[in-house]
Amino acid sequence: MILTLFLFSFYLIDQPDIDFLSHGEYGLELRFGPGGEIIGYGALGVFDRLSFGMSYGASNLIGAGNPGFYKLPGLQLGLLVFDQSMMLPTVVCGFDNQGYGVYDSSRYDIMSKGLYLNIGEKFEYPDLLIATNIGVNYSFEQGERLDIFGGIKFRIGSTQLMLDYTPNFGDPKDKNKGYFNAGIRFIFYDQVFFEFALRDLLDNSNKNQQLNRMIKIGYKANF
């Protein structure tokens, strides 16, 4: 069913996906990250090719100490430029200013994507989906910078296995290895998903958070 294929999430794990909300579809998502981070997302398919979302959260919301509420809500916009056909891949343009982790005066620990262009293809078989994508983004955080990203997912029945990666060019807060993540997503009743991921498998962070864990819970329906 279509909801099984396109359960709401603009992202695989940390990198943009090519899945898209159609007109009248909406999705809700909670993301629980390391350091007590919680981010809530809501998104709506305004038209068949245009989606809009907002997010808000805080670092250290769970645990001891004061929570670090983000200064502003995040904004997500997605435009489906081309849908996959015999001659063309799926092409999505988007904007997202929601990053992950602690936010200081100029950036998140994991910087937001900013403007991005994402290109991908899906290969479907009975009870099996393989989807790959690669993209480029321009982040407006920390003096602005250009980066690339990519990902792949395998769906077997109602279970998805996902990998994504970004080299994270030009970030003085990392070890120049890039961020590589792996996750698994379970889909229930064609509308609800639970995701568990291991992030930063290359130990790229200078915060010694190798194999940090992340959980997402999401829901999607139609008006």
Specify the pTM: 0.91
**CA 73 to each of CA 31, 70, 124, 140: distance values in angstroms, whole numbers, following the listed order:** 15, 7, 36, 15
The pLDDT, as a whole number, for residue 119 is 97
Profile the chain (223 residues) by mean pLDDT over runs of 10 residues.
Answer: 44 92 91 94 92 95 89 94 89 96 91 96 91 97 93 94 96 93 93 95 79 92 86
Strand partners for 219? 28, 192
Please report the domains of the chain, with CATH numbers, ordered by start residue.
2-222 (2.40.160.40)
Per-residue confidence (pLDDT) for residue 5, from 0 to 100: 35
CB contact set of 186 (below 8 Å; sequence gap of 6+): 158, 159, 193, 194, 195
List, in sequence order, the alpha helices (H) in the chain. Answer: 2-5
